[in-house]
Amino acid sequence: MKSIKHNIYVKLAAIIVLTLLLLIPSAMVMELIREREQTQEDAINEVSFKWSSAQTLTGPYISVPYYKYVKQQSGKDSSAQLVRIKDFIYFLPQQLDFVGDIQPEKRYRGIYEVVVYESKFIIQGQFNAINLKAFEINPRNILMDKASLNFGMTDLKGIESQISLIWNNKSIPFNSGLSSNDLASSGIHATVPLSISDSLNYNFSLSIDLKGSQQIAFVPLGKTTDVSLTSPWISPSFSGAYLPDDREVNDAGFNAKWNILHLNRNYPQAWTSNDYSVAGSSFGVDLLLPVDRYRKSMRVAKYAILFLALTFMVFFFVEILQSVFIHPIQYLLVGIALIVFFSLLLAFSEYMIFNWAYALAAVLTLILITLYTASILKSKGIAGLISSVLFILYAFIFTIIQLEDYALLIGSLGIFIVLAIVMYFSRKIDWYAISIGGQKDQNQ
């Protein structure tokens, strides 16, 4: 009976089992990557909460309160009664202009960087004459003296100085809070004098010094909304429902301009109650840090099965073609070294540029496996061959993660080439007659 040591099928089964078992620690590494990414997000959220969170500016818009009567059942057997409730009519500006300058700054929480900013905005525009006839509301139920101009912002901690509204050349102070939460959840308001005249328009302007973190966004409430932003930040990401009509990004920073029409969004210039939601039309800019270490580390870790399978395949063919025997424990140690590569990559990438982290982790892993292979096989040539194959594999994976758009194409071609090479070198092997390490044992 042929020794189990020399049985090729037993060795193949052992290699497959080891590969599957090593996927468990590789999954643990991926979970570690997700954990570190969550730690980074927690650090960003903590700094943002203390400084001021990402800001979304909604408005200004006018809200006019009024009373309406609805039928309400007070009991099972009682008849419905009319109940008076308070509601609002909302009017959006005819023209709305934002001109802003954003000055970003990096803050640190442990090893993590967080982008915060200070900004200065000049906001101006015009409201058309207030037309209440379209709503068929009894004028006696409209509280014109309680009308207010509202300006929504996400985090009021970001306000750095007093804000005054210039309303038809008259200065009016703002107060904290909104008249209602239908259009925004937080913000400021100012009581403004309104007339039911069909011809009186209202010009407004205000300036605001505002702090925030990572993102600034705007809701285009104007029938025509123009936004102009400048900043020294060199890696902006324009996000939301609309991209800039004109933008310039260079080493000095960026300039961006938007022009949004009321036809580009799905709500009118005036309505009552909470009939429409405006949040979905927001747009703006993210002040991104050029750091994607966790995303790239995760992409590399997803190739763990490829690292293991190809490396073990090389060792297996070395056994067959060179008539040597490599113990399953030695396969296991090499597999663990391959898994440790992903952990090293994650750790190094938190302190240096990802490409350098990848190179350093790969070099350390190659040196370890090469020295170990040379020691157990007593052959520098075989160790050099395995080292060369691993070097090509690491270079191949590095190329894939750099070429995101072509990753599937390059990856598929690479696997096809590997398969062709394996088929070429194994074409003349007699799999029924072969035994692993048999020739070496006979010579001994």
Residue 4: per-residue pLDDT: 47
Q: Which segment of 59-63, 99-103, 322-326 scores lowest on mean pLDDT?
A: 322-326
What burial class does residue 330 get, using C-beta atoms within 10 Å of its C-beta: 0-12 exposed, 13-18 middle, 19+ buried? middle
Residue found under tokens 């892993």: 365
Omega before 60 within 30 of 0, i.e. cis: yes
HEC readout, the chain: CCCHHHCHHHHHHHHHHHHHHHHHHHHHHHHHHHHHHHHHHHHHHHHHHHHCCCEEEEEEEEEEEEEEEEEEECCCCCCEEEEEEEEEEEECCCEEEEEEEEEEEEEEECCEEEEEEEEEEEEEEEECCCCCHHHCCCHHHECHHHCEEEEECCCHHHECCCCEEEECCEEEECEECCCCCCCCCCEEEEECCCCCCCCCCEEEEEEEEEEEECEEEEECCCCEEEEEEEECCCCEEEEECCCCCEEEEECCEEEEEEEEEHHHCCCCCEEECCCCCCHHHCEEEEECCCCCHHHHHHHHHCCHHHHHHHHHHHHHHHHHHHCCCCCHHHHHHHHHHHHHHHHHHHHHHCCCCHHHHHHHHHHHHHHHHHHHHHHHHCCHHHHHHHHHHHHHHHHHHHHHHHCCCCHHHHHHHHHHHHHHHHHHHCCCCCCCCCCCCHHHHHHC
Q: Return the top range by mean pLDDT from 131-135, 152-156, 290-294, 379-383.
A: 152-156
Q: Indicate if the pLDDT at residue 151 is higher than 70.
A: yes
Residue 409: per-residue pLDDT: 82
How confident is the model over 78-111, as pLDDT tens digits?
666 777 788 899 999 999 999 999 999 988 887 8
CA-to-CA dists, residue 91 to 64, 305, 315, angstroms: 8, 60, 74
Domain 53-291, second-level architecture? Sandwich (2.60)
Q: Indicate if the pLDDT at residue 440 is higher than 50.
A: no
Amino acid at 27: A
Alpha carbon distance 262, 244 (integer Å)? 16
| Mean pLDDT value of segment 191-201 | 80
**Could you tell me which residue, 374 or 5, shows the higher pLDDT?**
374
Task: List the chain domain ranges.
Answer: 4-40+294-443, 53-291
Alpha carbon distance 340, 307 (integer Å)? 12
Q: Indicate if the pLDDT at residue 114 is higher than 50.
A: yes
Residue found under tokens 């790969």: 362
- State the pLDDT confidence band at 444, using cuts at 50, 70 and 90: very low
